[in-house]
Amino acid sequence: MLIEIFCKYVLVLFIICNNQSFCKKLETYVKDYIPFPERIKELELVPNQFSWSMQNEFIFIDNFRDEIFLLKNNGEINLPTGAKWGNEVNSEIIWAGKSHQGIKIVDRLKNNITYMDFRLNTIKTISLNLKLYPDLVAEDPWGLLYIYSQTFGAIFLLDNLSLNIIPFVDLNKERFLSNCISDMETDKDGNLAILGCDGSFYEFSKNGLKTLSYNSILENSKFLVSINNDWLIMNNNGVGKTILSERQIEIPKSSLPIVDIESIESSIAILTIDHILILNVK
């Protein structure tokens, strides 16, 4: 009798969880809330893209003014020394990243990469030996840069200042149906994932072999991050879904709309118009 009741309970729970999204939601806990320092407003900076480091520091890009700045974990704001991106016409910063190697800045129109120290002093600038005019960049844990060029319809690999002119992934040969890429990211194992503008998802191994592909699983998807050995896709409205476990997440309305999103291990950082929200995800 008890076994029969238990079996009926399991069956009902199975039916409910296959028809109700709450059974598949990710658990989130607020880890930190970082309001923008007044200095950002004083400088009239409007960050709309950022990168998050293991030291809990953030590099911001203001695409409107074509400027970058660093928010240190003590709340201090650092600006580049000697750099004049915001004063130049033929400049468009599309990516900035901070790793153990320092800080890297990718300029689309200049088709180059600037290397800086942790105080934002310029060390050197290299020009890409192909006219890629990069659209997106992702950096793996070892400092390799994956550069997406819509001009070539391919992703190229930059290793130790050397650009491989043979595409790491040729999207034309991969039958990539979307006409553009919305986001691109790597995970802790060095796998590369791309999110098409149509919401399609593709994963590639470190050798450039396609290992996963999915059609659109989330309406108006825009952001892609690696989280807990999985991939998380999100839209501006704070709704997200993981690729492998097919679990859902919703960002608090107080942190909407999402401007950008980054992840480190089991945490995600949400960039909004006036603060950063950091969530632990389980």
Tally Cβ neighbours within 10 Å of residue 154. 20
pLDDT tens, residue by residue, 197-230: 999 999 999 999 999 999 988 999 999 999 999 9
Q: Which residues of 214-228 are buried (b: 16+ CB within 10 A; e: fewer)?
A: eeeebeebbbbbbbb
How far apart are alpha carbons 230 and 244 in whole angstroms? 6
Residue with tokens 């309001």: 35
Q: Percent of the chain beyond pLDDT 70?
A: 89
271 has a pLDDT exceeding 60: yes
- Cβ contact 154:170 at 8 Å: yes
- Give which of 209, 188, 211, 95 is closest to 149, Cα–Cα: 95
Six token digits for residue 197: 């503008």
For the segment 23-51, what is each residue's pLDDT rounded down to a tens digit?
589 999 999 999 999 999 999 999 999 99
Question: Amino acid identity of 254?
Answer: S
Contact 132, 167 (CB under 8 A): no
Separation between Cα atoms, residue 101 and residue 116, nearest integer Å: 9
Q: Any idea what DSSP says for residue 121?
A: B
- DSSP-derived letter for residue 119 is T
Torsion of CA 209, 214, 218, 224, to 10 degrees: -10
CB 54 within 8 A of CB 275: no
What is the reported pLDDT for 13?
34
Average pLDDT over residues 83-111: 84
Q: Are 69 and 60 in contact (CB under 8 A)?
A: yes
Across residues 154-173, what is the average pLDDT? Answer: 93
Are residues 238 and 213 in contact, defined by beta-carbon separation less than 8 angstroms? no
Strand pairing report for 169-170 and 181-186 = unpaired
Nearest alpha carbon to residue 271 among 59, 43, 44: 59
What's the pLDDT score for residue 10? 31
Closest by Cα among 167, 181, 174, 177 to 210 = 174
Distance CA 49, CA 62 (A): 7
